[in-house]
Amino acid sequence: MGGMSHIRNIVILTGAGVSAESGIDTFRAGANGGPSLWEQHRVEDVATPEAYARDPDLVLRFYDMRRAAIQTKEPNAAHLALGRLDREWARKTGGQVLIVTQNVDDLHERGGAVDVLHMHGEHLNAWCAACDARHRWTGPLIQRPPCPACDEAALRPDIVWFGEMPYRMDDIFGALREADLFVSIGTSGAVYPAAGFVRNARELGARTLELNLERSQGSAWFDETRLGPASELVPAWVDEMLGS
């Protein structure tokens, strides 16, 4: 990429493709993003407030299973490279890196990243619908444990479902306004508002780069696209950025 020396502030958007090589399934399979199935249910039918109201046991069972599964997974070379960039970029350039992830696993943190914004929530949090408290939570929720703060049995996964407002949108747009470079890694561009960030970033004057196994739905909005597995593309790009 030319003009690298002008780049100070970087916003990185990550999606399920970054964690795929750690053994965590992506949401949409195939080139045109057909939905993946879980026990005959599309993710669009489990990850909604309506599904939770209709059949809470089904939804809690789904998230209990996935909360347990991520704790058996390890960060891969892409997470480790992004962690290195996050720790070293400010010292090297005086600029800032913000990792905005749609992922609800904790592999960026375990890969050494410091500044991670989880716009779709986190598997390892429970949120109390009665008192609004959040608690780090590694065990199951299906037995309706009481909230440690208010004692109500109203804990739900701290996950942003379809129709709910993603977290910290003001912080994300603040960072996009300051960004010189926007990089999208391993996301299909199927889910809004994240899918629109490339357009927003571009209109706000940032260069835009996509790293993905195959082109995303918003691919035409990127100045540059590199195709391949994240575990190879991301370390190579981070080496370029850090000049190492």
In three-state secondary structure terms, 231 is helix
Least distance between ligand BJW and beta carbon 125 (Å): 12
Closest separation in Å from C-beta 230 to ligand BJW: 4
Q: How far is the CB of 92 from ligand BJW (least distance, A)?
A: 26
Smallest distance from ligand BJW to CB 53, Å: 16
CA distance 96 to 12: 11
Q: Which of 79, 108, 118, 120 is catalytic?
A: 120
The residues of the shown chain that bind ligand BJW, judged by CB under 6 A, are 15-17, 20-21, 26-28, 33, 43, 47, 102, 104, 120, 159-160, 162-166, 169, 186-188, 190-193, 212-214, 216, 229-230
- Residue number with CB closer to ligand BJW (107 or 230): 230
Closest CB to ligand BJW among residues 142, 190: 190
53 is written with which tokens? 């109201």
Amino acid at 41: H
* Residue with Cβ nearer ligand BJW (21 or 106): 21
Q: How many CB atoms lie within 10 A of CB 61?
A: 16
User: Looking at beta carbons only, is 32 or 205 nearer to ligand BJW?
Assistant: 32
Report the residue number whose CB is nearest to ligand BJW. Answer: 17
Q: Minimal distance in Å, beta carbon 62 to ligand BJW?
A: 8
Nearer to ligand BJW, 8 or 215 (CB): 215
Q: What tokens does 215 get?
A: 């082109």
Q: Which of 134, 112, 61 is nearest to 235 (CA)?
A: 112
CA–CA separation, 147 and 166 (whole Å): 23
> What is the edge-to-edge ordering of all strands in the sheet holding 155-159?
134-136, 121-128, 155-159
The verdict on whether 120 is a catalytic residue reads yes
Instruction: Please state the φ and ψ torsions of residue 194, each to the nearest 5 degrees.
Output: -55, -35
Q: Where are the beta strands (DSSP E) in 15-57?
A: 28-29, 34-35, 37-38, 41-42
Q: Tokens for 41?
A: 């249910």
Q: Which residues are catalytic?
A: 120
